[in-house]
Amino acid sequence: MFKNVFGSGFLVRTAHVMLTWVITLILFLHDTDLRKQEETGELVVPVLFVLLVLVSVLLYFAVSLMDPGFVLSDDADMQFTLGVTEEQQDMIPQNTKSLRQRRCGHCLLQQPMRSKHCQTCQHCVRRYDHHCPWIENCVGERNHRWFVLYLAVQLIVLIWGLHMACSGFTYTSTWQLWLRANGVLLGTTAVVAVLALTVLLLLGSHLYLVSLNTTTWEFMSRQRISYLKHCGADENPFDRGVLHNLWGFFCIWGTVVWEQVYFRQGSNPI
């Protein structure tokens, strides 16, 4: 399930963990509300903050090391046959029936619908969304929901950290003295603010795409994808309504036979 922790992403993961805990340490070393509450013995907020930071780090490693849904065997036809009856297969036009027989030009395995070969990971990934360089892993069928959860927790940590950082600035008589007293905290605040904005935009975009039951790859490369390029600009064969899409994404576990969903939507069997 998990890849080697000392793989190619070791430096990226180390940098992430070090940056996270260095920022946390700076917030406790300066005269922020966290330090004030710690010094007065009010430990509830500081402990909760540290625990939330720890949860965000654990989620980061889970998403980073988890198998995103690699296609490791030539089982696309088997899954398609199990998911679609003979009567439904007869309704599938010949030009779309060949979609399920697509073979990857790199790993030579048959690609299930919505999968894509990642040049970095050297595998085809089911329901491929994108390859994230920050986690040094693909985001796909198995870890996408955990990636969204990680972004949500990370955003809470960053906003909370930004609030704590702003509470630690001290006031002096001149700008020179103020910068000297608050320089490190000011730099930390700027980094946290940029990260918070980035995570907010990422989380918002992913929730939007999830609500439409589409992926980043499908959204960005629609005209080059064989099973989507013949659809209209506003047509998505996988869209089952916002609530159903969100429920299926967050609450339904297991591999989905997307060929069944696609051809059922397209052929409208009686």
The residues annotated as belonging to the active site are: 132
**Which are the contacts of 209, defined by CB distance < 8 A and separation ≥ 6?**
215, 216, 219
Count the neighbouring beta carbons within 10 Å of the beta carbon of residue 253.
8
Instruction: Determine the straight-line distance between the first and last CA of the chain, rounded to whole angstroms.
Output: 40
User: Within 13 Å and on the Cβ side, how many CA atoms surround 200?
Assistant: 10
